[in-house]
C-alpha cells in the first residue's frame, strides 16, 4: 500500500531575522538524519549546473520508531516526520507563500533550497520501500552570478557544516522548528506523537547497525557532513581558458593623458 503525505509552506523570513531570533538548543536532542545526498547528479559525469538548472537534495531521516518498524512494520506502524503547521499564516504547505528551506553556501553566498513534495518519481514523506525512513526533498534554482565549486550545507549558525559542529547543532532549516532550533517558526518538523525531529546526523549514521538504505541517484561519502564531497558544482561565470600572457590582446582602462599601448606598459605623457 502506498501512502503519500504532502506537506506545504509559509512566508519566508530573512536569514538575518532567523539568526537574530533566540534559539533554544534542546538538551541531548538526538539527530534523526541518516544521509544527505544529491538527486539526479553524479559528480563523475554531471557538468556544472547553469542558470535555471536545479540543485536537488535528498535529506533521509530515521523515523523515531525505526528500529521497531524494521523488525515488524505491521505490529509497529511507521511514524514518519511531517511539517506540522503552528497555525500562523497559511496552514497548507502546498499553497503557502514560502516553504521550509535548507541553507546552502554557494561560493560563500547564503542561498536556500526549497522543500518540494516530489522530484520526478521521488516523493517526500514516508519511504514506501523501507518504511523506517522519511525522505525530504529540497530544490534550488541556479541564479545568474552563482559560483559554487562545490556548494555546501550550512548549519543553523550560518556556517558551513563540519563534523564537530553538526554533531551538536542542527542544519540550517529556515521556516521550521526542529529539536535543535525552536525559534517560533511557522512549521515544526514533527511526528504523530508530537516528537520533534533532530535535524542533524544520527549518532553513528555511517554504521551498519542501521537498516539497508534504498537506492537513490546519489550517494553520500562517509563523513561528508557539508555535502562538499558530492561535488555539486554550480557555475554561471566563465573564464577564458585560452588566455596566454604572451599572445593575448589585453584591453586596459586608461585615464586622460595616459596612452593605451598593449605591447608595453602604459606611460604618462
What pLDDT is stored for residue 167 in this prediction?
Answer: 54
Q: Are 32 and 62 in contact (CB under 8 A)?
A: yes
What pLDDT is stored for residue 212 in this prediction?
Answer: 58
Query: Can you give the three-state secondary structure of the chain, one letter per residue?
Result: CCCCCCCCCCCCCCHHHHHHCCCCCCCCCCCCEEEEEECCCCCCCCCCECCCCEEEEEEEEECCCHHHHHHCCCCCCCCCCEEEECCCCCCCHHHCCCCCEEEEEECCEEEEEEEECEECCEECEECCCCCCEEEEEEEEECCCCCEECCCEEEECCCCECCHHHHCCCCECEECEECCCCCCCCCEEEECCCCCECCCCECCCCCCCCCCCCCCCCCCCCCCCCCCHHHCCCEECCCCCCCCCCCCCCCCCCCCCCECCCCCCCCCEC
What pLDDT is stored for residue 122 in this prediction?
Answer: 92
Helix (H, G, I), strand (E, B) or coil at 123: strand
DSSP code for 165: H
What pLDDT is stored for residue 242 in this prediction?
Answer: 58
SS3 percent helix, strand, coil of the chain, rounded to 5, is: 10, 25, 65
Kindly give the confidence (pLDDT) of every residue in the chain, 269 residues in length, as a single tens digit, with 9 standing for 90 and above: 333 333 333 333 334 443 333 333 333 357 888 888 889 888 888 889 999 999 999 999 989 888 888 778 788 889 999 999 887 666 677 777 768 999 999 998 999 999 999 999 999 999 988 888 999 999 999 999 999 999 999 988 888 887 655 555 789 998 999 988 877 678 999 999 999 999 988 876 655 455 655 444 344 555 678 888 888 999 887 655 555 555 555 444 444 444 444 455 544 44
Q: How far is CA 151 from CA 9, 163, 186, 235, in A?
A: 24, 17, 27, 10
First to last CA, the chain: 84
Task: Give the DSSP per-residue string, 38-51.
Answer: ESS--TTTPPPB-T
Amino acid at each position: 500500500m502506498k501512502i503519500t503525505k504532502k506537506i506545504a509552506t509559509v512566508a519566508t523570513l530573512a536569514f538575518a531575522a532567523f539568526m537574530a531570533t533566540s534559539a533554544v538548543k534542546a538538551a541531548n536532542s538526538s539527530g534523526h538524519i541518516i544521509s544527505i545526498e544529491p538527486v539526479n547528479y553524479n559528480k563523475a559525469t554531471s557538468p556544472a549546473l547553469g542558470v535555471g538548472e536545479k540543485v536537488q537534495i535528498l535529506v533521509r531521516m530515521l523515523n523515531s520508531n525505526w528500529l521497531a518498524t524494521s523488525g515488524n512494520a505491521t505490529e509497529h506502524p511507521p511514524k514518519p516526520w511531517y511539517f506540522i503547521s503552528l497555525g500562523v499564516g497559511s496552514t497548507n504547505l502546498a499553497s503557502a507563500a514560502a516553504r521550509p528551506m535548507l541553507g546552502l553556501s554557494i561560493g560563500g553566498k547564503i542561498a536556500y533550497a526549497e522543500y518540494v513534495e516530489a522530484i520526478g518519481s521521488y516523493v517526500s514523506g514516508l519511504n514506501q520501500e523501507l518504511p523506517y525512513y522519511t525522505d525530504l526533498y529540497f530544490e534550488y534554482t541556479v541564479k545568474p552570478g552563482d559560483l559554487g565549486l562545490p556548494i555546501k550545507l550550512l548549519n543553523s549558525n550560518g556556517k558551513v557544516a563540519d563534523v564537530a559542529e553538526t554533531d551538536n547543532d542542527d542544519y540550517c532549516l529556515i521556516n521550521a522548528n526542529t529539536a535543535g532550533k525552536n525559534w517560533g517558526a511557522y512549521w515544526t518538523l514533527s511526528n504523530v506523537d508530537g516528537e520533534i525531529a533532530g535535524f542533524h546526523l544520527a549518532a553513528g549514521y555511517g554504521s551498519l547497525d542501521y537498516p539497508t538504505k534504498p537506492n537513490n541517484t546519489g550517494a553520500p561519502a562517509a563523513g561528508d557532513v557539508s555535502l562538499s564531497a558530492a561535488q555539486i558544482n554550480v557555475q554561471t561565470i566563465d573564464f577564458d581558458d585560452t588566455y596566454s600572457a604572451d599572445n593575448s590582446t589585453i584591453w586596459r582602462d586608461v585615464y586622460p593623458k595616459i596612452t593605451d599601448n598593449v605591447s608595453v606598459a602604459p606611460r604618462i605623457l
